[in-house]
Every structure is written in structure tokens, then in C-alpha cells.
Amino acid sequence: MRAFKTCEYLCLLLLSVYTFKFALSIIQEHPITMNIPINPPQPLLALTSDLKERSEKRTKANLFQILSKLSGTIFFQEAPALVTLRDAHIPLLPDGSENHELLQNFLSYVPFTTYEDYQPFVARFLDNKSPRLSDVNNLLSPGLPAFIAHSSGTSGGHLKHFLKYPNPGRLGRRWDNPDVPPFKICSFTLLNIDRWIKVVDDDDGAVQDIPVSIATAGGTRLRLGIGPMDDAKIIDKKGSQVQFVVGLHET
């Protein structure tokens, strides 16, 4: 075990040196220049009436879009923090029309929430090796999460878990996609998965395997399209987008 740890630390040291040399070469090829004005503009201490109106309009529009998207989730229908909002029985208007009464009720009656408000819902994934689709689908957001991220456990000595739902606007291309022009990327991150949670239907048929990992590992795998069957392929392999200098590490 001690020899393994020594080898691991040596690998990390070599990777740090490689990262520093790579970053230095980029800076030398593309030197950074800073153009700081001699007389910088004065800070804006108060919004103009036009900016304030536009800001309020955008805030309300974003809030309404969030409410419209999440109104069909289990959390929206069952969370104690939203009971006052549900009791108001204000329907969402069709065609994306804004319901100002709903927005006002949300701003007036929905309190600030903490992790404890979401933990009982997240536990539906973690307390069962094979949760039912009917119990976890549309839980905090439409559909199923792409992965479940956990904290380091330094706060209170317990891990906190967060459901990470896919965002189509932030998804990249598969790491081995031959149609993507190659480019250099230097990233120092872990890709290991702590465990997999298999979501099943009512007939115990597999629906989706959801990884549990630190946020960096899960996010990188999601962005580059690294699936559970790709682990053996990416260790010290070069794809069209990225070369994995250090791949996976068993925990």
C-alpha cells in the first residue's frame, strides 16, 4: 500500500510539472497584455430607471420560466417549503404567458431553502440500490439527473449529495468523436465514479445507470460523453478532442 501511495504521489508530481510546462508554453506563444485606462470610469452606485425596469422585467421572466418548468416536479408538488404557494391554487397560464399573481405569491410566501429541504427527496436515490422510475422521475427537475454529485464531507462530517440534471446548452461532444477538429486541452481532474445507481421500471427492467461522484468528475464525464463502458478505453488514450494523461483511479 505504501509503495502504491508513493507511486501515486510521484505521478501527481509529474503531472503538475507537465501542467506547468504546458501552461508556460501557451503563455509564451500568446503573451497576455493588460490595457488599464488611466482614468477608469466612476462606479455605478445606483441603477438608472431604465436599467432598473429592464432588470426587474428580466428577473420576473426568468423566475416565471423556472416555475413553469418545475411545476410538474415531485418537489414542487410535495415539498413543505412550497405548501403556501400550492395552497394558493394559482394556475400557470398557457403559451408561456406570465402570471403576475403567481410570481407575487412566490416572492411573498416561499422562504429561503437549505439543503435539509431537498435531502429527503435526494434520499430516494441513495437509500435504494435500484430506485423505481415512478419514485424518482421528475424529482427536482424534469426527467432523470445525469449524475449525482457529492461534497467532500468537510462540513458537518457528512457528505451532501446534489442531483445534476443535463443542460443541453452545456453539453460537449464525445471525447472520441472523429468529426470534431482536435485541439489541445490540459485538465487536472479525477474521472472516477464512486458507485452507480440503477433506476428500474415497475418490472425491474433497467432504465438508466446514474453515476455518483464528485462534481468535477461527473461534470467532465458528462461534458465529454464518457460513458460507463468507456473507462477501459480512455486510460492513456488520445481522442479527437482530448488526450487523457491520467485516467481512472480505483477508490
Higher model confidence: residue 30 or residue 72?
72
160 in a domain, yes or no?
A: yes
Instruction: Taking residues 32-39, report their average pLDDT.
Output: 64
Residue 16 scores a pLDDT above 60: yes
Residue 114 scores a pLDDT above 70: yes
Question: Residue 61 in contact with residue 54, Cβ under 8 Å?
Answer: no
Residue 83 scores a pLDDT above 80: yes
Three cell numbers written together for 82: 412550497
Buried/exposed code over 63-85 (b: 16+ C-beta within 10 A; e: otherwise): ebeebbeeeebebbeebebbeeb
72 in a domain, yes or no?
A: yes
Residue 152 shares a structural domain with residue 230: yes
Residue 203 shares a structural domain with residue 156: yes
Domain termination residue (choose one: 109, 138, 172) = 109
Q: Burial-class residue 5 by CB neighbours within 10 Å (0-12, 13-18, 19+).
A: exposed
- CA proximity to 220, closest of 153, 149, 162: 149
Range of the domain at 135: 130-234
pLDDT digits (tens, 9 = 90+) for 160-205: 999 999 887 666 667 677 776 665 556 666 778 888 899 999 898 9
pLDDT at 243: 47
Residue with cell 455605478: 44
Residue 91 shares a structural domain with residue 154: no
Which stretch of DSSP H or E encloses residue 149? Answer: strand 147-150
149 in a domain, yes or no?
A: yes
Residue 226 shares a structural domain with residue 143: yes
Residue 3 scores a pLDDT above 90: no
- Pairing state of beta strands 161-164 and 147-150? antiparallel
**Number of domains observed in the structure of the chain:** 2
Q: How far apart are CA 25 and CA 58, in angstroms?
A: 43
What is the value of pTM for the model shown? 0.69
The percent of residues above 70 in pLDDT, for the chain, comes to 65
Higher model confidence: residue 224 or residue 14?
224
Residue 93 scores a pLDDT above 90: no
Three cell numbers written together for 94: 398557457
Residue 154 scores a pLDDT above 50: yes
pLDDT at 125: 93
Q: How far apart are CA 41 and CA 44, in angstroms?
A: 9
pLDDT digits (tens, 9 = 90+) for 130-143: 899 999 999 999 99
Instruction: Taking residues 110-118, report their average pLDDT.
Output: 91
The number of CA neighbours under 13 Å toward the Cβ of 44 is 6
15 in a domain, yes or no?
A: no
pLDDT at 230: 77
33 in a domain, yes or no?
A: no
Residue 184 shares a structural domain with residue 100: no
171 in a domain, yes or no?
A: yes
Which span out of 92-96, 103-107, 233-237 was modeled with the highest average pLDDT?
Answer: 103-107
Residue 94 shares a structural domain with residue 156: no
Which stretch of DSSP H or E encloses residue 68? Answer: helix 49-70
Q: Which of 12-21, 72-81, 112-121 has the lowest mean pLDDT?
A: 12-21
Rg (CA), the chain: 23
Q: How far apart are CA 64 and CA 60, in angstroms?
A: 6
30 in a domain, yes or no?
A: no
118 in a domain, yes or no?
A: no
Residue 94 shares a structural domain with residue 184: no
